[in-house]
Amino acid sequence: MSLETYFLYVIMPILGVAALLVVYRFFKGPNIVDRVVALDLSITIGVAAIAAYCIVTQQFSFLDDAMILALIAFLSTVAFSYYLTKKVKK
């Protein structure tokens, strides 16, 4: 089994199922924290899909976009946690 076949038949379906479960959690989430975690995880799954695509196609120019998405996800999670700490103190 080659690396491309492994990515296409094993990794991508796993990422697809994970994305569907995250979308379910995003819409079903009982509170805002669950939705923010689901959004952060969906961005992480997107970064993993971009990385898998780059490995399969040997086109590594999209990794810059993946790094930017990961940075945005990290900063948004930090901003949300800062918002929660300020909300609790009041």
Instruction: Give pLDDT, residue 23.
Output: 95
Instruction: Give pLDDT, residue 2.
Output: 87
Q: Give burial (CB, 10 Å; 0-12/13-18/19+) of 61.
A: exposed
pTM: 0.86
Contact 62, 53 (CB under 8 A): yes
Instruction: Give pLDDT, residue 40.
Output: 94
Q: What is the pLDDT along the chain (90 residues), one digit of tens a residue?
A: 888 889 889 999 999 999 999 999 999 989 988 999 999 999 999 999 999 999 989 999 999 999 999 999 999 999 999 998 888 776
